[in-house]
Amino acid sequence: MGGFGGALKNLSIGCASSEGKAWIHSGGKGGSMWSGDQNAFLEAMAEAASSVVDYFGEGERCIYINVMNRLSVDCDCDGNPAEPDMHDIGILASLDPVALDQACVDLVYAAPDSASLIQRIASRNGIHILEHADEIGFGSRAYTLQSID
């Protein structure tokens, strides 16, 4: 539903209770998990991720790692996901989960075989989670990519 799964999705949905998952999926309104407004859902994910980081502590205590391999348009919660159709990109890490997810999305957009994932991100307005997280001061979309090869 989010368009892509990265640090923010895993912080919010991955750390939420069953009730929390339902609350986030409903866009923070309650009721049906699958009938909420898409942007409200993405905003609820950004806010839930921020709450998780606030709970566990910020700064040097947390590092976020995204492994960009076996990239598929479907979530790992899907019982019958589409097979990956992109090459592996690599492993990225950051102290800022928003910057990390932005860097990953930028690398997906730059990849020559990413048409299906780009279409999925666009169809779900997936970038909005990054916009909202930046807007609420949870992190920054700005980053400097450094290779350690």
Residue 117 within a domain = yes
Tally Cβ neighbours within 10 Å of residue 43.
21
Residue 145 within a domain = no
pLDDT at 72: 86
Residue 26 within a domain = yes
pLDDT at 60: 60
pLDDT at 51: 93
Least confident of 56-60, 106-110, 135-139: 56-60
Tally of domains in the chain: 1
Direct distance between the N- and C-terminal alpha carbons of the chain, in angstroms, rounded to an integer: 34
Q: Is the dihedral of CA 96, 3, 43, 48 positive or negative?
A: negative
Residue 59 within a domain = yes
pTM above threshold 0.75: yes
Q: Tell me which DSSP letter residue 94 carries.
A: E
Residue 141 within a domain = no
Q: Answer for the pair 86, 130: CB distance below 8 angstroms, yes or no.
A: no
Least confident of 75-84, 86-95, 102-111, 135-144: 75-84
Helices within 1-149 (DSSP H only): 7-15, 18-25, 38-56, 97-110, 115-123, 128-135
Residue 77 within a domain = yes
What residues make up the domain containing 53? 7-135
Residue 56 within a domain = yes
pLDDT at 58: 65
Looking at residues 9-35, what average pLDDT do you find? 88
Q: Answer for the pair 101, 7: CB distance below 8 angstroms, yes or no.
A: yes
Residue 149 within a domain = no
Question: Nearest to residue 64, comparing CAs of 21, 9, 18?
Answer: 9
Looking at residues 42-63, what average pLDDT do you find? 86
